[in-house]
């Protein structure tokens, strides 16, 4: 009865897989994980931020208006004391309201360089986010292939169960005729129960792996979700780390340029218009309007080697970024050596898988006849059947491991975003 229930549940599970579940590919999972990862939203935010920063910098080219109002009282004011002449004197209480206007005529390239720096800063942050998003791929690949490996083990469990169940039915007839002891049939039934326990364990493991994958891709995958066997292309693409290193070096180059342009002369037109008491005529004690226009030149002719020191600092930082890239390249090469060795090993091992399976099948067929005739114990038959099942499982697992190694290599060297 337990065996019948097991077969019925297995059949329902397989039917649900084929009918109700839509297969999903590794590329689909990688794309979904990227789109649903919280950091992905920051990419769109960067575009909005840079637009606002560029608008702020463009305001440097527009006239700047400052409104000032002040009321003061001072203990002394300019004046001339002469008993023969009644000279006017500035009031001690003074009132002013005025607007200062300043218009950049030439800023030495400060604004243009600052805009270039902001655009490059966006690239640095953008590529930094791409680096973090790329790390997510490794976790997706691990979870995806874990589910595939468990699916293969479940298929082998079903195969062993079907074969042993058939032998069990045959052995019951032999037991009834007295050719085989009841204990031999009982041993096969125990094996069926152990297989059922294996299925429970594998199903829970699959549920856990699929739950992790669902969390990564941002979708609730059903337990009967089918994963496609991935096709690994040979196309290689630049990893985001390299763009990140380039953007960092460019950022430091622009910082050096900014140190230089800050010393360039700048030319401004300015004006002031206001109303108060006194106006520009300090000796006139009455409210009046006043205004002034002019041109101002500003030039830092000596900065105590600040710009030169800054350039050296940025150059040292740029060399540091280069060393980071060299370290990254070395780690890639070391990891690639391990992956290539794993690929070569699996390729050589798989050359003998079919031959081993064929031999194991012949051994099991011989054991099957001997079991039915009573010349072989159930334990001996189960050993041979398990060896055949393990050979078939090993072949399929080797293929999955090879696909994963190829996926790891492509992910290591670079992949499409």
Instruction: Report pLDDT digits (tens) over 363-405.
Output: 999 988 888 777 888 888 888 888 888 898 889 999 999 999 9
Distance CA 59, CA 104 (A): 10
Is 83 contained in some domain? no
Chain centroid, CA 30 distance in Å: 10
Distance CA 89, CA 91 (A): 6
Q: Would you state the pLDDT for residue 359?
A: 93
Percent of the chain with pLDDT over 70: 90
CATH number for the domain harbouring residue 403 = 1.20.1600.10
Is 376 contained in some domain? yes
4-13, 162-171, 296-305, 311-320: the lowest-pLDDT one: 4-13
pLDDT per position as a tens digit, 280-325: 888 788 899 999 999 999 998 888 888 889 899 999 999 999 999 9
Contact between 187 and 379 under an 8 Å Cβ cutoff? The reply is yes
Contact between 247 and 124 under an 8 Å Cβ cutoff? The reply is yes
Q: Would you state the pLDDT for residue 8?
A: 45
Is 69 contained in some domain? no
Q: Would you state the pLDDT for residue 234?
A: 60
What tokens appear for 310 in the block?
């800054």
Is 61 contained in some domain? no
Is 112 contained in some domain? yes
pLDDT of residue 17 exceeding 50, the answer is no
Phi and psi torsions of 286, nearest 5°:
-165, 155
Q: Which residues are within 8 A (CB) of 322 and not within 5 positions of it... i.e. 6 or more apart? A: 245, 249
Is 72 contained in some domain? no
Q: Would you state the pLDDT for residue 23?
A: 87
Phi and psi torsions of 296, nearest 5°:
-130, 135
Pairing assessment for the beta strands 266-277 and 288-298 based on DSSP bridges? antiparallel
Q: Which of 37-41, 42-46, 356-360 has the highest mean pLDDT?
A: 356-360
Domain housing 140? 2-36+107-264+299-413
Is 87 contained in some domain? no
Q: Would you state the pLDDT for residue 177?
A: 72
Is 64 contained in some domain? no
Number of domains in the chain: 1
The answer, as to whether pTM is greater than 0.85, is no
Chain centroid, CA 214 distance in Å: 16
Distance CA 329, CA 320 (A): 14
Q: Which residues are within 8 A (CB) of 252 and not within 5 positions of it... i.e. 6 or more apart? A: 314, 315, 317, 318, 321
Give the closest residue to 289 by CA, choosing from 301, 273, 304, 303: 273
């Amino acid at each position: 009865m337990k065996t019948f229930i097991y077969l019925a549940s297995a059949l329902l599970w397989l039917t649900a897989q084929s009918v109700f579940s839509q297969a999903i590919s590794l590329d689909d999972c990688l794309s979904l994980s990227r789109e649903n990862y919280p950091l992905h939203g920051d990419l769109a935010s960067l575009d909005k931020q840079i637009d606002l920063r560029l608008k702020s910098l463009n305001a440097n080219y527009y006239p700047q208006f400052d409104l000032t109002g002040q009321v003061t009282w001072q203990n002394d004011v300019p004046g001339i004391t002469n008993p023969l002449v009644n000279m006017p004197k500035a009031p001690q209480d003074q009132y002013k309201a005025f607007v200062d206007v300043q218009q950049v005529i030439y800023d030495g390239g400060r604004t243009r360089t600052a805009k270039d720096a902001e655009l490059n800063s966006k690239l640095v942050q953008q590529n930094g986010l791409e680096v973090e998003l790329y790390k997510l791929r490794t976790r997706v690949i691990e979870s995806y292939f874990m589910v595939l490996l468990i699916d293969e083990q479940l298929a082998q469990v079903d195969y062993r169960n079907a074969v042993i169940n058939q032998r069990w039915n045959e052995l019951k007839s032999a037991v009834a005729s007295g050719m085989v002891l009841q204990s031999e049939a009982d041993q096969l039934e125990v094996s069926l129960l152990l297989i059922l326990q294996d299925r429970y364990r594998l199903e829970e493991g699959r549920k856990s792996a699929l739950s992790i994958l669902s969390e990564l891709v941002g979708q609730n995958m059903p337990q009967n979700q089918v994963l496609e066997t991935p096709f690994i292309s040979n196309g290689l693409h630049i990893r985001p780390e390299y763009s990140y290193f380039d953007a960092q070096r460019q950022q430091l180059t622009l910082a050096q340029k900014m140190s230089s342009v800050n010393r360039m002369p700048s030319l401004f037109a300015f004006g002031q218009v206001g109303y108060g008491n006194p106006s520009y005529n300090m000796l006139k004690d009455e409210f009046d309007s006043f205004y002034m226009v002019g041109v101002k030149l500003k030039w830092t002719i000596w900065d105590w080697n600040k710009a030169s020191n800054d350039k050296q600092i940025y150059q040292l930082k740029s060399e540091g970024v280069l060393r980071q890239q060299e370290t990254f390249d070395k780690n890639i090469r070391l990891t690639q050596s391990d992956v290539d060795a794993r690929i070569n090993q699996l390729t050589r091992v798989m050359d003998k898988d079919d031959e081993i399976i064929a031999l194991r099948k012949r051994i099991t067929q011989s054991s099957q006849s001997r079991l039915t005739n009573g010349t072989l114990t159930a334990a001996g038959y189960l050993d041979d059947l398990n060896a055949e099942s393990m050979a078939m499982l090993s072949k399929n697992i080797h293929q999955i491991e090879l696909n994963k190694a190829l996926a790891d290599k492509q992910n290591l060297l670079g992949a499409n975003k």
